């Protein structure tokens, strides 16, 4: 397995982190305080898990006033997709680029 | 879009699009090195049967940044095929075949690309993972797919 996938597996291998990620992936941006409610873990523990998720590219934070709002970066999961999924995406983008080139070419 | 491939136990990706341009013009974009570099990747392609060439791009985790290719079919302006990957460039040992088919239509050309030869292990990015991982990741992929 490559290094990027390995990091993602280690990051999401922790059930608390996975639950935090899934909760953020399901909807709006949330603060550490909101994420701590109902999580069954302390606020410092949630903060620590969020920084691990952030380093893995799975979560991003935006400062709003004195608080930071966290949201999931689902594109951070891309290294886990198989070659077929990655190539399907690749070719769709290349087809767009080909059409763009054809518009610029002389007949 | 994915289709079942022609060989048993391997699969293909098929992308098809009608474009308002002549087959001859599209053929040039598919077979001229400088033009291929514009829409696909840096390369040393030449339109000769049996020509070995490389595509080059920035390396990514699991891929060295080079794909070794070989022209296997050249029938201007209708059909072009090249081997894509000889198994040495990526961790996965990917070896596929890319086939381009250009079919004239009243409004231009139907461009069809088929990349065949994917093995079952190329389909999942989490091969070898046991336990609940495939299930968990299937859910996460749905999230990623929504982007």
Q: Best interface-test mutation with B: which of A87, A100, A104 has the largest number of B CBs within 10 A?
A: A87
> Mean per-residue pLDDT for A56-84?
85
DSSP assigned state of B64: -
CA pseudo-torsion sign B88, B116, B40, B43: positive
The tokens describing B82, both together, are 């090249």
DSSP state of B73: E
3-state secondary structure of B96: strand
From the list B19, B21, B123, which residue is nearest A84 (CB)?
B123
Both tokens assigned to B129: 């993972």
Question: Measured between CB atoms, which of B1, B25, B94 is closest to A102?
Answer: B25
**What domains, with CATH codes, occur in chain B?**
11-119 (3.30.530.20)
The strand order across the sheet containing B108-118 reads: B2-4, B11-19, B108-118, B96-105, B79-84, B66-75, B52-56, B42-43
B30 vs A15, residue with greater confidence = B30
pLDDT digits (tens, 9 = 90+) for A35-65: 999 788 999 999 999 999 999 999 999 998 8
Q: Which residues of A touch B91 (CB under 8 A)?
A: 1-2
A93 inside 8 A of chain B by CB: no
Greater confidence, B145 or B69?
B69
Quote the CA–CA distance of B25 and B30 in Å, as a whole number.
Answer: 9
Q: Which helix (H) or strand (E) holds A30?
A: strand A30-31
Which residues 44-73 on chain A approach chain B with CB closer than 8 angstroms? 72
State whether the Cα torsion A78-B55-B76-B107 is positive or negative: positive
pLDDT at A8: 83
Q: Kindly list the strands in the beta sheet with A67-72, ordered across the sheet, starting from the edge strand earlier in the chain.
A: A30-31, A67-72, A59-64
pLDDT at B32 > cutoff 50 = yes
Does residue A28 belong to the interface with chain B, where contact is any CB pair within 8 Å? no
- DSSP-derived secondary structure letter, B60: B
Q: Is the per-residue pLDDT at B37 higher than 70? A: yes
| Confidence (pTM) | 0.67
Q: What is the mean pLDDT of chain B?
A: 83
């Amino acid at each position: 397995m490559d290094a990027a996938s390995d990091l993602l597996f280690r990051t999401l291998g922790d059930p608390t982190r996975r639950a935090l990620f899934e909760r953020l992936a399901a909807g709006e941006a949330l603060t550490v305080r909101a994420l701590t409610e109902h999580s069954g873990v302390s606020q410092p523990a949630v903060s620590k898990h969020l920084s691990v998720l952030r380093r893995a590219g799975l979560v991003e934070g935006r400062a709003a006033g004195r608080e930071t709002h966290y949201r999931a970066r689902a594109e951070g999961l891309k290294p886990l997709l198989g070659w077929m999924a990655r190539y399907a995406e690749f070719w769709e983008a290349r087809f767009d680029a080909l059409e763009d080139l054809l518009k610029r070419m002389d007949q | 879009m994915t289709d079942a491939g022609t060989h048993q136990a391997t699969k293909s990706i098929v992308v098809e699009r009608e474009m308002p341009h002549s087959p001859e013009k599209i053929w040039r974009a598919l077979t001229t090195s400088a033009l291929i570099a514009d829409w696909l990747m840096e390369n040393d392609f030449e339109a000769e049967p049996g020509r070995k060439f490389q595509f080059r791009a920035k390396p990514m985790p699991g891929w060295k940044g080079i794909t070794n290719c070989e022209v296997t079919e050249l029938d201007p302006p209708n059909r072009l095929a090249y081997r894509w990957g000889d198994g040495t460039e990526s961790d996965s040992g990917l070896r596929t075949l890319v086939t381009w088919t250009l079919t004239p239509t009243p409004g231009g050309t139907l461009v069809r690309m088929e990349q065949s030869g994917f093995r079952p292990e190329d389909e999942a990015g989490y091969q070898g993972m046991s336990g609940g991982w495939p299930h968990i990741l299937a859910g996460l992929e749905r999230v990623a797919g929504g982007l």
